[in-house]
Amino acid sequence: MLRKSIILLFCTCFGLSFTAPALAGGGIITDARTVGQKSKRNSQVESNRGLSIPAEGLTSIENELYLLVSMWFSESGWALDSDTHIDFYQPRGQAETDEESGCQQAPILPWFLLGLIPFVTRRKQNSIEA
Site residues, other proteins (CB under 8 A): 21, 23-39, 41-43, 45-46, 55, 60, 63-64, 67-68, 70-71, 74, 79-80, 82, 84, 86-89, 91-93, 103-106
**CA contacts within 13 A on the Cβ side of 115:** 14
Q: Are 58 and 35 in contact (CB under 8 A)?
A: yes
d(CA 13, CA 64): 61
CB of 19 to other proteins, least distance (A): 12
Q: Which is nearer to other proteins, 68 or 112 (CB)?
A: 68
Q: Are 35 and 60 in contact (CB under 8 A)?
A: yes
Q: Are 78 and 49 in contact (CB under 8 A)?
A: yes
Q: Which is nearer to other proteins, 60 or 127 (CB)?
A: 60
CB of 120 to other proteins, least distance (A): 25
CB of 115 to other proteins, least distance (A): 15
CB of 26 to other proteins, least distance (A): 4
Q: Which of 63, 73, 74, 72 is nearest to 32 (CA)?
A: 63
Q: Are 48 and 56 in contact (CB under 8 A)?
A: no
Q: Which is nearer to other proteins, 39 or 76 (CB)?
A: 39
Q: Which is nearer to other proteins, 12 or 47 (CB)?
A: 47
